[in-house]
C-alpha cells in the first residue's frame, strides 16, 4: 500500500485551547507546538492516536520539553530549525524533524541536502508557488524522509496534497479558522484513500483446524457493510474479511470491529507495512478496504484475543496460493469477488472470494528484497 498522508495542527498562544476538542474529533493526528507554548497543553487529555511534535530552539528547550509534565509519552517528534542541534536529540525516544524555510534557490538546495538527516522535513515557503515543493518531492522520492508542508489555509493544503500527483506526505495547518480546519479535513479524507488492485481468489481447500487464538480488531472508526480488512498467513497476500456490520440474530452489531482471525495473520496497514495481529495494540494503524479496492487508514482502539475454533481457507490468485485462518462460525463473513457477503460456514471449494496479491518478502512487517518461501 502507498504511504498514508497525515494532517497536523499547529497550536500556539494565540489559539483558544478549546479548539483542540474539535481537532481531536477530526483526522489531525499530531499537535505541533513550540516548546515555549508546551505548558499550555499540560492540562489537555490527549485521546489515543493523537500525539505531539515539539519545535525547540536549543538544547535547553529540548531538555525541558522532554520533562514536560504528563506529556512525555505523547511527544513523538522533536523539530528544530538548526541542523547542528539534531545530533543532541535522542532518536530512540522520538522521531526527529527539521523545520526549514525556503525563500530562494539556496534555501531549496539546503533543504534537499539536509532531508536525509531527519525523519520528517517540514517546509514553509516564502512564495505561494508549489514549484519548490515539486522540486523537493522529486529529489527526495527515493528517501525515507517524509516531506510535510506548512500551510495557512485549507485551499493551500488541498493543492499541496495533489502536488506532483502524490503530493506531500503531510500538511501542517497553522490557522485559527474553524472553517479552514474542517475544510482541510474534508479534503484530506478525499485524497487519503488508497486504491488497491483486488482480484478474484479461487477457493482450493477448506479445513476445520480446531482451537486457536482468534483476534478481533476493534477500531476507533465506524466501519461500513462494504468494508473489511485484508488478512493472510503469508506476505504474498490475503482475502478480505468483512466488518461486523451484517445481520446477527442473537446480538447487536459491532460497526467498529473486524473479527480478523488467527493470531499469526498479517493485516495490511499504511506505508506498505503489514502487521502481525499479535503485534497490534491500542493506537496501531491498519487499513480497511471496500469491494472497489478503496482503502483508508483507521486506528486500533482495542484488540480482543480469545480461544475459538478456526477455519482454514486456502485460495489461489493468478497461480499464487494464499490462505487465511478465520473463526469457524457462521457470523464471521468474507467478501466474494463481486462484493457479496459470504458467511464462513457457507464458503465452498470453487467459490470466488475477494483477494489481494502483493510482492512477498517481509521482515518485521516491512518489505525487503530477498528470496523467501512461505508455506
**Tens of pLDDT along 40-71?**
998 898 887 799 999 999 999 999 998 887 78
Cα dihedral 240, 246, 250, 253 sign: positive
Q: 194 vs 222, which has greater pLDDT?
A: 222
310 contacts 262 by C-beta, under 8 angstroms: yes
252 contacts 192 by C-beta, under 8 angstroms: no
Q: Which of 134-148, 220-234, 299-313 has the lowest mean pLDDT?
A: 134-148
How does DSSP classify residue 273? B
State residue 175's pLDDT score: 93
pLDDT surpasses 90 at 350:
yes
State residue 369's pLDDT score: 52
311 contacts 295 by C-beta, under 8 angstroms: no
Q: 194 vs 109, which has greater pLDDT?
A: 109
Instruction: Give the CA angle between residues 359, 360, 363 to the nearest 5°.
Output: 125
State residue 370's pLDDT score: 56
Q: Of the segments 47-56, 156-165, 199-208, which one has the largest average pLDDT value?
A: 199-208
Is the domain spanning 6-192 CATH 3.20.20.120? The answer is yes
CA atoms within 13 A on the CB side of 111: 29
Q: How many Cβ atoms are within 10 Å of 314's Cβ, its own excluded? A: 17
Residue 315 has phi, psi (to 5 degrees) of -135, 170
State residue 192's pLDDT score: 67
- What span, in angstroms and rounded, lies between the C-alpha atoms of 6 and 26? 12
pLDDT surpasses 60 at 366:
no
Q: Which of 45-49, 236-240, 278-282, 313-317 has the lowest mean pLDDT?
A: 45-49
348 contacts 206 by C-beta, under 8 angstroms: yes
pTM of the model: 0.62
The per-residue DSSP string of 44-74 comes to --PPTT-EEEEEESSHHHHHHHHT-TTTGGG
Least Cα distance to 138 among 117, 108, 159 occurs for 108
Average pLDDT over residues 137-151: 87
pLDDT surpasses 50 at 248:
yes
Average pLDDT over residues 193-221: 94
State residue 364's pLDDT score: 43
Q: Of the segments 64-68, 71-75, 259-263, 266-270, which one has the largest average pLDDT value?
A: 259-263
Instruction: Give the CA angle between residues 136, 145, 95 to the nearest 5°.
Output: 135
- What span, in angstroms and rounded, lies between the C-alpha atoms of 37 and 54? 9
Our measurement of the distance from residue 362's CA atom to the centroid of its chain's CA atoms, rounded to an integer in Å, reads: 18
Entry field: residues in the chain: 375
pLDDT surpasses 60 at 3:
no
State residue 1's pLDDT score: 36
Q: Which of 54-63, 184-193, 202-211, 280-289 has the lowest mean pLDDT?
A: 184-193
Q: What is the pLDDT of residues 86-105, one digit of tens each?
A: 999 998 889 999 999 988 89
pLDDT band at 141; cut points 50, 70, 90: confident
The reply to whether 6-192 and 198-367 are identical in fold is: no
pLDDT band at 213; cut points 50, 70, 90: very high
State residue 121's pLDDT score: 93
Bridge partners (DSSP) listed for residue 308: 212
CATH fold for the domain made of 198-367:
Endonuclease - Pi-scei; Chain A, domain 1 (2.170.16)
pLDDT surpasses 70 at 368:
no
State residue 156's pLDDT score: 83
State residue 373's pLDDT score: 62
Which distant-in-sequence residues (6+ apart) come within 8 Å of 40 by Cβ?
A: 11, 13, 17, 33
Delimit the domains of the chain by residue range: 6-192, 198-367
Amino acid at each position: 500500500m502507498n504511504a498514508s498522508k497525515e494532517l497536523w495542527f499547529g497550536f500556539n498562544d494565540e489559539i483558544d485551547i478549546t479548539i483542540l476538542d474539535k481537532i481531536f474529533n477530526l483526522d489531525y493526528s499530531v499537535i505541533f507546538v513550540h516548546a515555549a507554548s508546551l505548558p499550555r497543553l499540560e492540562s489537555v487529555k490527549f485521546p489515543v492516536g493523537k500525539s505531539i511534535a515539539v519545535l525547540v530552539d536549543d538544547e535547553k528547550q529540548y531538555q525541558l520539553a522532554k520533562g514536560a509534565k504528563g506529556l512525555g509519552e505523547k511527544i513523538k517528534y522533536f523539530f528544530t530549525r538548526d541542523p547542528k542541534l539534531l545530533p543532541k536529540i535522542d532518536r530512540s525516544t522520538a522521531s526527529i524533524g527539521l523545520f526549514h524555510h525556503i525563500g530562494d534557490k539556496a534555501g531549496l538546495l539546503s533543504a534537499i541536502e539536509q532531508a536525509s538527516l531527519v525523519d520528517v522535513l517540514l517546509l514553509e515557503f516564502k512564495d505561494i508557488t508549489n514549484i519548490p515543493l515539486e522540486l523537493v518531492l522529486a529529489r527526495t522520492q527515493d528517501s525515507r524522509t517524509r516531506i510535510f508542508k506548512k500551510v495557512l489555509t485549507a485551499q493551500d493544503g488541498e493543492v499541496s496534497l495533489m502536488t506532483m500527483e502524490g503530493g506531500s506526505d503531510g500538511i501542517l495547518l497553522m490557522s485559527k479558522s474553524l472553517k479552514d480546519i474542517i475544510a482541510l479535513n474534508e479534503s484530506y479524507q478525499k485524497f487519503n484513500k488508497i486504491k488497491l488492485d483486488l482480484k478474484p481468489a479461487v477457493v482450493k481447500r477448506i479445513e476445520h483446524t480446531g482451537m486457536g487464538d482468534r483476534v478481533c480488531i476493534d477500531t476507533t472508526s465506524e466501519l461500513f457493510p462494504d468494508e473489511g480488512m485484508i488478512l493472510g498467513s503469508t506476505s504474498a497476500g490475503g482475502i478480505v474479511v468483512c466488518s461486523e456490520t451484517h445481520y446477527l440474530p442473537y446480538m447487536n452489531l459491532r460497526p467498529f470491529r473486524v473479527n480478523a482471525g488467527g493470531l499469526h495473520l498479517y493485516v495490511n496497514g499504511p506505508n506498505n507495512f503489514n502487521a502481525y495481529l499479535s503485534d497490534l495494540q491500542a493506537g496501531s494503524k491498519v487499513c480497511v478496504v471496500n469491494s472497489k479496492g478503496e482503502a483508508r487508514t483507521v486506528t486500533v482502539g482495542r484488540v480482543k484475543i480469545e480461544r475459538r475454533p478456526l477455519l482454514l481457507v486456502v485460495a489461489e490468485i493468478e497461480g499464487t496460493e494464499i490462505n487465511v485462518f478465520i473463526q469457524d462460525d457462521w457470523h464471521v463473513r468474507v467478501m466474494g469477488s463481486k462484493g457479496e457477503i459470504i458467511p464462513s460456514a457457507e464458503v465452498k471449494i470453487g467459490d470466488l472470494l475477494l483477494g489481494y496479491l502483493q510482492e512477498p518478502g517481509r521482515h518485521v512487517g516491512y518489505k525487503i528484497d530477498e528470496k523467501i518461501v512461505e508455506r
